[in-house]
Amino acid sequence: MSKFFNQKLNTLVPYTPGEQPKEQEYIKLNTNECAYAPSEKVLQAVEKAAVSVNLYPDPACDALCEKMARIAGMDKQQIIFTNGSDEILNFIFTAFCENGAVFPDITYGFYPVFARLNGVKYREIPLTQDLRINPEEYKNVGKTIFIANPNAPTGIALKREELESIIRANPDNLVVIDEAYADFSGESARELVNIYDNLIVCGTFSKSRSAAGIRLGFAFACKELISDLNTIRFSTNPYNINSLSMAAGLAILEDEAYTAENVKKTVRTRERVKELLKKEGFYCTDSKANFLFVKSDKISGEALYRGLKQRGILIRHFSLERIREYNRISIGTDAQMDILIKTIKEMVERK
Ligand code: PMP
């Protein structure tokens, strides 16, 4: 650390993204990306946009907002686009957490990092014994509430009515529903932003839309909240969405059938792999996301992670005490998952 680093930040522990080792080719099942490449139409749109990169992109992000507004049945002033949904989460911590924040003890690891970066005091509410969010514990908390739904890394989802009960019980506090994985659960709370002025629903192009590399996230809320978020955006980087990502994003939204097909395939594979893992004696949470969260009495969480890495398969292991026997496994193609199952079988049988 240099002597110039802001003393207020000297205990900041940055978020650790999933590893991307370069020394060999891996089957990559550790960062919940989409297993399927973007469509040809997306590639063509990017190529077309590339000729104008001498110009700044549209800071209002008008075309994308209009398209998304039409899809979601909202006004375009109820939508904001950001450089990945990580950016919108950071903006929310900057804009709306003066009174502090709460989120589960086991959830997306970036929430505590953004809280510390923004000097926000936070409280973690423990998940229940079976790794669920108990909505009752989120009522009248007096702070901004962050809930990933489905939650990560458990994949377990709250029902819409349960979310709505939390939103209703906190009229003077903001509730942020992070729907990074909601396309795989088939249930979104986004229409609720038309009813509640204390709700922000975030989403991303990184999971169901085959576009983690373009860094495109978004949020829905009432116009006043989106206007505040735009104040932060225009005070940070008005050109946060580059022209190539904008063009790709638009092409993705124009071909929703392609996304829907990939979501369908991913969910089908998830359910198939879950059954196969159960046959091998694994316990799997009821994941509604594009990953499974699994553990087994036959092999420790760390041994499974290390053994698979040695054999060319990357999954995500967390060192947090409560979940160290688990691993999070992203859903790849059927062919990739067949190799995973075969390798796990060999490892478990050899023990
Ligand atoms: N929320 C959750 C729950 C996530 O798992 C992720 C991806 N790691 C994000 C938000 C951020 O996604 P992105 O910045 O790629 O849109």
Q: Do the domains 40-254 and 18-37+257-350 match in fold?
A: no
Cα of 132 vs centre of ligand 1, distance in Å, is: 20
Q: Is the pLDDT of residue 90 over 70?
A: yes
pLDDT in tens, 327-346: 999 999 999 999 999 999 99
Please state the domain extents for the chain: 18-37+257-350, 40-254
Cα of 120 vs centre of ligand 1, distance in Å, is: 20
Pocket of ligand 1 (CB under 6 A): 84-86, 108, 148, 152, 178, 180, 204, 206, 212, 217
Tell me what the pLDDT averaged over the chain comes to: 97
In angstroms, the CA 295 to CA 283 distance is: 5
pLDDT in tens, 161-197: 999 999 999 999 999 999 999 999 999 999 999 999 9
Q: Indicate the top mutation candidate among 32, 82, 93, 204 to test ligand 1's pocket, ranked by most ligand atoms within 8 A of CB.
A: 204
Cβ-defined contacts of 61-64 (< 8 Å, 24+): 61/241, 61/246, 63/246, 63/250, 64/241, 64/246, 64/249, 64/250, 64/253
- Per-residue HEC secondary structure of the chain comes to CCCCCCHHHCCCCCCCCCCCCCCCCCEECCCCCCCCCCCHHHHHHHHHHHCCCCCCCCCCCHHHHHHHHHHHCCCHHHEEEECHHHHHHHHHHHHHCCCCEEEECCCCCHHHHHHHHCCCCEEEECCCCCCCCCHHHHCCCCCEEEEECCCCCCCCCCCHHHHHHHHHHCCCCCEEEECCCHHHHCCCCHHHHHCCCCEEEEEECCCCCCCHHHCCEEEECCHHHHHHHHHHHHCCCCCCCCHHHHHHHHHHHCCHHHHHHHHHHHHHHHHHHHHHHHHCCEEECCCCCCEEEEEECCECHHHHHHHHHHCCEECEECCCHHHCCCEEEECCCHHHHHHHHHHHHHHHHHC
From the CA of 216, give the closest atom in ligand 1.
Answer: 16
* pLDDT score, position 349: 84
CATH C-level class of 40-254: alpha beta
pLDDT in tens, 238-288: 999 999 999 999 999 999 999 999 999 999 999 999 999 999 999 999 999
* pLDDT score, position 351: 66
From the CA of 18, give the closest atom in ligand 1.
Answer: 8
Q: Is the pLDDT of residue 82 over 80?
A: yes
pLDDT in tens, 1-46: 999 999 999 999 999 898 888 888 999 999 999 999 999 999 999 9
How many other C-beta atoms can be found within 10 angstroms of the C-beta atom of residue 48? 12
Cα of 85 vs centre of ligand 1, distance in Å, is: 6
The protein residue with its alpha carbon nearest to ligand 1, atom 8, reads 31
CATH C-level class of 18-37+257-350: alpha beta
Rounded mean pLDDT of 66-91?
Answer: 98
What percent of the chain clears pLDDT 90, i.e. is strictly above it?
95
Rounded mean pLDDT of 77-93?
Answer: 98
CA angle 40, 41, 45 (to 5 degrees): 120
Cα of 144 vs centre of ligand 1, distance in Å, is: 19
From the CA of 87, give the closest atom in ligand 1.
Answer: 14
* pLDDT score, position 180: 98
From the CA of 212, give the closest atom in ligand 1.
Answer: 15
Cα of 89 vs centre of ligand 1, distance in Å, is: 9
Which stretch of 9-18, 195-204, 218-227 has the lowest confidence by average pLDDT?
A: 9-18
* pLDDT score, position 28: 96
Cα of 205 vs centre of ligand 1, distance in Å, is: 9
State pTM to two decimals. Answer: 0.97
Confidence of residue 132 (pLDDT cuts 50, 70, 90): very high
